[in-house]
Amino acid sequence: MSMRNITKQEELTHISSYVSKLIKSKFGKGPETCFTSISDQYIVIHIKKFMTKIEHELVKKEDFATAGKIRTHITEELLDPIQETLGEICDKPITNLYQDWNFQKNSGVLLAVMNSEQKIDVGNSLEFMLLRKEISKQSEFYQYQPNEQSLTKMGEKIYIIRTAGYILPIERILIEKGMHILKEREITIRKRYYANRHRFNKIINNEIQDIFMIWDYEKDENYKIFYCK
């Protein structure tokens, strides 16, 4: 099949099928559902109902940290071929490919960041202004404010919030010496966002079902992905 002649829906289906099969070949088991969405800046692959026996046992013991380390380590080996294939299918360079997993909800996400000269779609300007204000309020709790914020709305169900320039000087030292302290902060931030979902639900007039968070400390960037009902 020529990648240049397929329809948008065929493109999305092809990506979802490819990722599902690749995961199955690596883990011996694939996800029940794999759904792909594309904007000018991002490819988002939502993976649901996928857990190995070892991960399941760890989750039963509420050892989410170990389950996450195992999943992330194994999936890391798949990122390069996925990134290359996504670039070929979309005919755009993929600058970065990230992963995040939520074992409590048995879901995960792959986020591909594409080079694009097009203006970022911020959706409804009032909605973006209120979201930005709420994110700033959440950031105040951790005594940091990002220098940059941008929002991409994909359809009615997906929000991607990118922030940059949030790492404090002392945190750069921690990164050089080991990131375990920052990882602990990540867990706290995730819990706080879940606890305050109702505040975001009110702004977007929808119910957030899943929240994913990705930190790229080398680039000083953070991505928050809201999946709505």
Supply 76's token pair: 């890391």
* Per-residue pLDDT, 2: 45
% of the chain at pLDDT higher than 90: 61
With cut-offs at 50, 70 and 90, classify the pLDDT of residue 140: confident
* Per-residue pLDDT, 80: 96
Longest CA span, the chain: 52
Q: Report residue 161: phi and psi, to 5°.
A: -110, 120
Q: Which residue has the higher pLDDT, 119 or 35?
A: 35
Cα–Cα dist 129/151, whole Å: 10
* Residue 102 reports pLDDT greater than 70: yes
**Tens digits of residue pLDDT in 181-202:** 777 788 888 999 999 999 999 9
* Per-residue pLDDT, 225: 97
Mean pLDDT across the stretch 104-119? 84
Q: Which residue has the higher pLDDT, 213 or 177?
A: 213
Average pLDDT over all residues of the chain: 88
% of the chain at pLDDT higher than 70: 90
Mean pLDDT across the stretch 91-112? 95
* Per-residue pLDDT, 1: 45
With cut-offs at 50, 70 and 90, classify the pLDDT of residue 144: low
**Tens digits of residue pLDDT in 49-97:** 999 999 999 999 999 989 999 999 999 999 999 999 999 998 889 999 9
User: Which residues are CB-neighbours of 12 under 8 A, at least 6 positions away?
Assistant: 36, 37, 38
Cα–Cα dist 166/144, whole Å: 6
* Residue 121 reports pLDDT greater than 60: no
* C-beta separation of 178 from 171 below 8 A: no
* Residue 167 reports pLDDT greater than 90: no
